[in-house]
Chain A
Amino acid sequence: GQQLNQSPQSMFIQEGEDVSMNCTSSSIFNTWLWYKQDPGEGPVLLIALYKAGELTSNGRLTAQFGITRKDSFLNISASIPSDVGIYFCAGLYSNTGNQFYFGTGTSLTVIP
């Protein structure tokens, strides 16, 4: 299957700091999604991206669909304690229909 590499694997930041994480693949994707997962819960959709170069915001979160269509970035501004969780990217590879491939996740810890 397709491999999505997320980095960093984990982050420890102070409350109020900005956060950046990214996701890269060896294949071209035509949709990128960013999810957040809290312990014991299913992933919750944060942002969906459908076009190369697209930049979309959802409150303090901003995500971009890379121009090469092989990467995506998620930024969180002015982090707060409730941002704690695991962030996953997911990509839709057009040749495999509707199967979204997920990255390995970035674990975010916000220190008050």
Chain B
Amino acid sequence: ETGVTQSPTHLIKTRGQQVTLRCSSQSGHNTVSWYQQALGQGPQFIFQYYREEENGRGNFPPRFSGLQFPNYSSELNVNALELDDSALYLCASSLAGGFGGYTFGSGTRLTVV
């Protein structure tokens, strides 16, 4: 059983640029959630995808967008990057309804300069 894999592991971008982060969900999981974790903080919910549609969104602006593909993998896109977007971005997969909890990937460390 493969876990959640995220790519890339680290990324440095310039303010104003756009970035795409990728996530492959754990085998058998059909729901993907994205979280942003600033240094020293708990993860903050960005949004969740189920059956290729957004299924809940946290308090993040529209320049944060996502996709889910038929194989349940997912992308997080962030446009017009700001310095405060620097964080660890975590992808988590689960069964529908979150039953059994989330399985997290190791995250992508994004630094915006």
Contacts and interface: CB of A to CB of B under 8 A. Distances in A.
Interface stretch (A36-44, A52-60, A68-76): A36-44
16 contacts: A1-B59, A4-B42, A33-B101, A40-B106, A40-B109, A42-B105, A43-B43, A43-B104, A45-B101, A45-B103, A88-B43, A96-B56, A98-B50, A100-B102, A103-B42, A105-B41
Given A43-B104, A98-B55, 16 more contacts: A1-B45, A40-B106, A42-B90, A42-B92, A43-B43, A45-B102, A45-B104, A90-B102, A92-B98, A97-B56, A98-B31, A98-B48, A100-B45, A100-B98, A102-B44, A105-B41
B104 A88 contact: no
Interface residues of B, number: 31
Nearest to A89: B42
Nearest to B105: A42
A44 B104 contact: yes
B90 A43 contact: yes
Interface of A: 1, 4, 6, 31, 33, 35, 40-45, 48, 88, 90, 92, 96-105
B66 interface: no
B94 interface: yes
Contact of B42 (A40, A41, A48, A88): A88
A101 B56 CA distance: 13
Interface of B: 4, 31, 33, 35, 40-45, 48, 50, 55-56, 58-59, 90, 92, 94, 96-98, 100-107, 109
Nearest to B97: A98
Nearest to A6: B42
A106 to B, nearest CB: 10
A105 B100 contact: no
- Interface-central residue, A31, A43, A102, by most chain B CB under 10 Å: A43
B98 A42 contact: no
